[in-house]
């Protein structure tokens, strides 16, 4: 078969490229899908390639556990990825076994087709690998979660990896019920909307009219908990791609949005334009911003390992390395110290990370309070903002684990401080 001529092979070739990009930490799944073979796909084949890669990443642990005993040594080139995609089609997508095997074998180099065929056919006889939670995550991350949150929570977190999440939307203002109905959306506590709709979101009702933006229900909490009033000055220190900036601007605050990435800030500008909102958008390193202004409220949604975002980005789990967490914790401490200098006396600071690792959350909050006696922790009362009750930690911050709400939500740490002295 010729990949150039056969749409089924073209879609699988695009998936192979995308999986390689995802697992080598180059990210940008959609960019990988648009480049090379993916650029020639029909929308239906494109959606198939994407679904195949996501299904593979969500079950990468079990798939590799099934493959390993069948591979005497590591196969060359992209053969492991090819086999992973083949097994994902057999077990997790609605692809007939013969089509999954034939298209996978056809993509292998001639000399390795026997191996690929034997592995897949052998696996067909064995049936799907079990979805044991401790095998859905990389072993080192599962061990961390077990040490930090206990066995039952670690299993419940990991079980979410295999689940396909719904899309959460944040409405710009109270939404027309007709749009809610068309979105087939369910209202979540706090005001987010959840829909099982799929496909091109730009074609969903209310997108072009700027009625909502896509934002996980947990990601909507930090800005809500900052509780800004109209005309308050607010600094969003790490703003791109902009979900929290949009919330703050929609609440009527006068927002300054910083990010050190000019390319990511373009998404903030585009979003503000679509939503009819305004903010001052500046490219700057927040740790070293040459501007002396102080603000009524500051949001630091810091760069982090993002292990809490695995429901939509399962590749983060497989790209994270143990050393990253300590390195990111040092960046977060420096950014928190910079954030403290920006808060007016009496003002508030919310710190958040979409990480499940205590070094990036609890340890940062404790370290910040110890180093900044002018600040106190303002305990959360999660009900109003819509945070799950299970997420309220005895210390007064939120530790949101992905199984804390029905249908799941991103893992987050959120703490709120107030500057009580000059
Ligand atoms: C977790 S993301 C922020 C997400 C954003 N708050 C939102 O809701 O869409 C972290 C951001 O921090 C930015 N960043 C990392 N280091 C930074 C620094 N020193 N100064 C400013 N921005 C930084 C990254 O470019 C990235 O966009």
More confident residue, 125 or 222: 222
52 C-alpha to center of ligand 1: Å? 30
- Find the 266 Cα to ligand 1 centroid distance in Å: 13
**Residue 354 appears among annotated catalytic residues:** yes
Per the structure block, which two tokens stand in for 57? Answer: 């990443």
Full-model pTM: 0.95
pLDDT of 25: 78
- Ligand 1: residue of 217, 247, 250, 260 to mutate (most ligand atoms within 8 A of CB) is 260
Q: Is the CB of 287 under 6 A from ligand 1?
A: yes
What are the pLDDT digits (tens) for 86-145? 999 999 999 999 999 999 999 999 999 999 999 999 999 988 899 999 999 999 999 999
Cα–ligand 1 centroid distance for 237 (angstroms): 7
The protein residue with its alpha carbon nearest to ligand 1, atom 19, reads 285
313 lines ligand 1 (CB under 6 A): no
Predicted local confidence at residue 4, as pLDDT? 58
Look at residues 367, 371, 389 and name the one whose alpha carbon lies nearest to residue 380: 389
Q: Is 358 a pocket residue for ligand 1 (Cβ < 6 Å)?
A: no
Q: How far is the CA of 382 from the centre of ligand 1 (A)?
A: 25
Distance of CA 379 to the CA centre of its chain: 26
Which residue lies with its CA nearest to atom 10 of ligand 1?
303
Map tokens 């699988």 to a residue: 12
For 28-93, list the strands marked E by DSSP. none
The DSSP secondary structure of 25-74, one letter per residue, reads: T---HHHHHHSGGGGG--HHHHHHHHHHHHHHHHTHHHHHHHHGGG-SSP
Structure tokens at 409: 């939500």
Q: For 236-292, how does the pLDDT look when each residue is reduced to its tens digit (9 = 90+)? A: 999 999 999 999 999 999 999 999 999 999 999 999 999 999 999 999 999 999 999
102 phi and psi angles, rounded to 5 deg = -60, -45
How far is C-alpha 46 from the geometric centre of its chain's CA atoms? 21
pLDDT digits (tens, 9 = 90+) for 23-72: 987 666 777 777 776 778 898 999 999 999 999 999 999 999 999 999 98
The DSSP element (H or E) to which 349 belongs, if any, is strand 343-353
pLDDT tens digits, 303-333: 999 999 999 999 999 999 999 999 999 999 9
Which 3 state secondary structure label does DSSP give 297? strand
Please, are residues 106 and 1 in contact by the beta-carbon 8 Å criterion? yes
C-beta 268 within 6 A of ligand 1? no
The stretch 297-302 carries a mean pLDDT of 98
* pLDDT tens for each residue of 329-348: 999 999 999 999 999 999 99
Radius of gyration of the chain from its Cα atoms, rounded to whole angstroms: 23
Residue indicated by tokens 């990370």: 353
Which atom of ligand 1 is the closest one to the Cα of 285? 20
Q: How far is the CA of 74 from the centre of ligand 1 (A)?
A: 38
Atom of ligand 1 nearest to the CA of 241: 9
Residue 372 near ligand 1, beta carbon < 6 Å: no
Q: Please report, for the chain, how many H helices and E strands are present, in that order.
A: 18, 12
| Ligand 1 midpoint to CA 264 (Å) | 9
User: Pick from 419, 420, 398, 422: which is nearest to 410 by CA?
Assistant: 398
Q: Is the CB of 238 under 6 A from ligand 1?
A: yes
- Kindly give the distance from the C-alpha atom of residue 301 to the centroid of ligand 1, in angstroms, as a whole number: 7
* CB of 242 closer than 6 angstroms to any ligand 1 atom: yes
Tell me which of 2 and 146 has the higher pLDDT: 146
Query: CB of 240 closer than 6 A to ligand 1?
Result: yes
Going along the chain from its start, the domains and CATH numbers come out as 7-126 (1.10.940.10), 133-162 (no CATH), 214-419 (3.40.50.150)
Residue closest via CA to ligand 1's atom 2 equals 303
Task: Quote the CA–CA distance of 342 and 103 in Å, as a whole number.
Answer: 57
- DSSP label of 166: P
Protein residue with its CA nearest to atom 6 in ligand 1: 239
Going by pLDDT thresholds of 50, 70 and 90, the confidence category of residue 383 is confident
Please give the pLDDT value at position 1: 43
Do residues 405 and 217 touch, judged by C-beta distance below 8 A?
Answer: yes
Q: Is 216 in the pocket of ligand 1 (CB under 6 A)?
A: no
Distance CA 282, CA 339 (A): 16
**What is the rounded CA–CA span in Å between residue 44 and residue 406?**
30
Q: In this structure, which residue's CA is closest to atom 27 in ligand 1?
A: 240
Mean pLDDT in residue range 363-386: 93
Environment class of residue 343 by beta-carbon count within 10 Å: exposed (0-12), middle (13-18) or buried (19+)?
buried
Catalytic residue among 155, 238, 304, 354: 354
Can you give the pLDDT at residue 217? 97
Least confident of 151-155, 176-180, 233-237, 255-259: 176-180
Q: What's the 286 CA to ligand 1 centre distance in angstroms?
A: 9
């Amino acid at each position: 078969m010729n990949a150039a001529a056969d749409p089924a092979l073209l879609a699988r070739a695009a998936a192979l490229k995308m999986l390689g990009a995802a697992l080598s930490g180059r990210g940008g799944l959609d960019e990988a899908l648009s480049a090379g073979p993916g650029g020639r796909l029909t929308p239906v084949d494109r959606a198939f390639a994407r679904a195949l890669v996501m299904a593979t990443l969500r079950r990468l642990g079990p798939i590799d556990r099934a493959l390993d005993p069948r591979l005497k040594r590591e196969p060359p080139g992209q053969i492991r990825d090819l086999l992973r995609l083949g097994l994902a089609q057999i077990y997790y997508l609605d692809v007939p076994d013969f089509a999954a095997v034939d298209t996978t074998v056809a993509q292998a180099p001639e000399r390795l087709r026997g191996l690929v065929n034997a592995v897949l056919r052998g696996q067909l006889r064995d049936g799907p690998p079990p979805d044991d939670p401790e095998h859905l995550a990389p072993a080192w991350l599962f061990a961390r979660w077990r040490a930090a949150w206990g066995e039952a929570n670690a299993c419940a977190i990991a079980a979410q990896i295999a689940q396909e999440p719904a899309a959460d939307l944040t409405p710009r203002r109270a939404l027309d019920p007709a749009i809610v109905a068309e979105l087939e959306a369910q209202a979540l506590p706090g005001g987010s909307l959840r829909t099982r709709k799929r496909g091109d979101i730009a074609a969903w009702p209310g997108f072009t009219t700027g009625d909502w933006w896509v934002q996980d229900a947990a990601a909507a909490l930090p800005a809500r908990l900052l509780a800004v009033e109209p005309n308050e000055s607010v600094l969003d220190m790490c703003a791109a791609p902009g979900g929290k900036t949009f919330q703050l601007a929609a609440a009527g605050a006068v927002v300054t949005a910083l990010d050190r990435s000019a390319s990511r800030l373009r998404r903030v500008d585009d979003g503000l334009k679509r939503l009819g909102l305004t903010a001052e958008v500046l490219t700057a390193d927040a740790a070293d911003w040459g501007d002396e202004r102080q603000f009524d409220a500051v949001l630091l949604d810091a760069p982090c390992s993002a292990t809490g975002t695995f429901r939509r980005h399962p590749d983060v789990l497989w790209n994270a390395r143990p050393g990253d967490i300590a390195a990111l914790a040092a960046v977060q401490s420096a950014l928190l110290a910079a954030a403290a200098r920006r808060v007016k006396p009496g003002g508030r600071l919310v710190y958040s990370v979409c990480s499940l690792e205590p070094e990036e959350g609890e340890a940062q909050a404790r370290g910040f309070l110890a180093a900044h006696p002018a600040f106190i922790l303002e305990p959360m009362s999660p009900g109003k903002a819509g945070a799950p009750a299970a997420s309220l930690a005895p210390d007064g911050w939120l530790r949101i684990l992905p199984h804390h709400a029905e249908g799941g939500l991103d893992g987050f740490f959120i703490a709120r401080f107030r500057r009580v002295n000059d």
